[in-house]
Amino acid sequence: MAILLAGGAGYIGTHTAVEFINAGYEVVIADNLYNSKAEAVRRVEKITGKSVPFYQIDVSDAEALRTLFSEQNIDTVVHFAGMKAVGESVAKPMMYYRNNLNTTLTLLEVMKDFDCHRFVFSSSATVYGFSNPVPLFETMPRGECTNPYGWTKWMIEQILMDACAADPELSVVLLRYFNPIGAHESGLIGEDPQGTPNNIFPYITQVAVGRRPQLTVFGNDYDTVDGTGVRDYIHVVDLAKGHVAAVPYAEKHTGAEIINLGTGRGTSVLEMIAAFERVNGVKIPYVIGARRAGDLAESYANADKAKEVLGWTAEKTIEDMCRDGYRWQTMNPMGYPEG
Ligand code: NAD
Ligand code: UD1
């Protein structure tokens, strides 16, 4: 039996592939390379010493997905295949709704045809919206999203809960990621955003290697420890291990279970810059700019449920995240090569 990683050539998917293989699972990757490179899959093979079946397909293409399911013995799907750039989703909402919802619906339909009942989904802390106080608990109501990307996560969560209500065999784990950063310690795989990074950590690593002159800190007048935004950064390898822990849980349960994947600790933008400089011995020049529309002052998880239900806890520190992320960027200053 194998685990299908839909969108598995991307940042989180490649790290998750490595951790599944290390834990003894067979994995199959399906990805249309919309936001990734085939080289990333080869790097997973290099790290693990195992060959990974790779299907370059759009997972909303039902026929292509059926071919994959008929050739591979898939018993669990982990669904990473989505578009994730917040600003782009505001400019191209239809593209985001079509891609992110269709990939989910097609996966569910084809899974049913092939008697596959376990589904793990990449949701986001963005579904908590603006009104909930920190720390964020899974029992809190979902909030209002500020952009179509966030709404796709919100809607997909609803679709998956409805699908579980209608199908007593279906088991879904909705993993709400906080802020994944860092890279595998080999430096062979990491985050490779196309164009200007939207998120802070890849921006910092690109400044660190001289690709960009400075970071703009989006506001220093929030009601936080030092006025800058606070987030729950989680090492991508810890996050990947959270998926590995979700599979035995999904095997034993049915229905939809929402689980935060975070550390439970908040770090401000200035604390992140200071940690990065200290650990790596590099200077990150920055200027203070205006607040970014749609940003929260603080977002961090209560991470107790993952510990209770999955037996999983994040182990790596901010220092590990800074060290490993910088190693990836120095070894691959321009990201993955083409091809
Ligand atoms: P990523 O862009 O690196 O990976 C997503 C992968 O999905 C890419 O390789 C892309 O080519 C592929 N893909 C997109 N549409 C596809 C389609 N129709 N068919 C086949 N492949 C398709 O992003 P990531 O950071 O690895 O994120 C993975 C998932 O986790 C996404 O769903 C994202 O929304 C979610 N998530 C990410 C973060 C984060 O901060 N990175 C936070 C919360 C949730
Ligand atoms: C952003 C998205 C969110 C998405 C998440 C993961 C917005 C409004 N939110 O969240 O929907 O789920 O990424 O993809 O885009 N910062 C700077 N300078 C920068 C970049 C960021 O100061 O150049 C600050 C931000 O103001 C924030 C913190 O760094 O306080 C983290 O930002 P980011 O990495 O973009 O993550 P989120 O804001 O949590």
Q: Which residues pair with 287 in a beta bridge?
A: 216
Distance of CA 117 to the CA centre of its chain: 22
Tens digit of pLDDT for each residue in 184-225? 999 999 999 999 999 999 999 999 999 999 999 999 999 999
Q: How far is CA 212 from CA 280, 336, 338, in A?
A: 17, 18, 21
Nearest CA to ligand 1 atom 30: 122
149: annotated active-site residue: yes
pLDDT in the model for residue 338 = 84
Tens digit of pLDDT for each residue in 15-66? 999 999 999 999 999 999 999 999 999 999 999 999 999 999 999 999 999 9
Nearest CA to ligand 2 atom 38: 295
- What percentage of the chain reaches a pLDDT higher than 70? 100
Tens digit of pLDDT for each residue in 102-113? 999 999 999 999
Distance CA 73, CA 145 (A): 37
Report, as an integer, the average pLDDT of 320-327.
Answer: 98
Distance CA 235, CA 210 (A): 23
Distance CA 130, CA 298 (A): 10
Structure token digits, residue 293: 């529309």
262 lines ligand 1 (CB under 6 A): no
Report, as an integer, the average pLDDT of 296-307.
Answer: 98
* Least distant ligand from the CA of 199: 2
Angle, helices 148-166 vs 93-113, to 10°: value is 20
* 183 CA from centroid of ligand 2 (Å): 18
* 320 CA from centroid of ligand 2 (Å): 20
Peptide bond just before 135 cis, omega within 30 deg? yes
55 lines ligand 1 (CB under 6 A): no
Q: Which numbered atom of ligand 1 lies nearest the CA of 99?
A: 18
Among 57, 74, 108, residue whose Cα is nearest residue 4: 74
Catalytic residue selected from 128, 149, 203, 326 = 149
Q: What is the largest CA-CA distance in the chain?
A: 56
84 lines ligand 2 (CB under 6 A): yes
pLDDT in the model for residue 266 = 98
pLDDT in the model for residue 150 = 97
pTM over 0.85: yes
Nearest CA to ligand 1 atom 44: 124
Among 240, 244, 189, residue whose Cα is nearest residue 23: 244
Does residue 19 contact residue 44 with C-beta atoms inside 8 Å?
no
Tens digit of pLDDT for each residue in 119-148? 999 999 999 999 999 999 999 999 999 999
Q: What is the mean pLDDT of the chain?
A: 98
Tens digit of pLDDT for each residue in 66-98? 999 999 999 999 999 999 999 999 999 999 999
Q: Give 289's Cβ-side CA count (13 Å radius).
A: 11
Q: How far is CA 316 from CA 27, 243, 262, 313, in A?
A: 25, 16, 11, 9
Structure token digits, residue 20: 């599944």
Distance CA 92, CA 86 (A): 10
Distance CA 195, CA 253 (A): 41
Pocket test for ligand 1, best of 56, 84, 121 (most atoms within 8 A of CB): 84
* 146 CA from centroid of ligand 2 (Å): 13
Res 245 pLDDT > 80: yes
86 lines ligand 2 (CB under 6 A): yes
Nearest CA to ligand 2 atom 21: 200
Among 186, 212, 240, residue whose Cα is nearest residue 78: 240
Distance CA 47, CA 229 (A): 35
Residues 6+ apart with CB under 8 A from 287: 214, 215, 216, 217
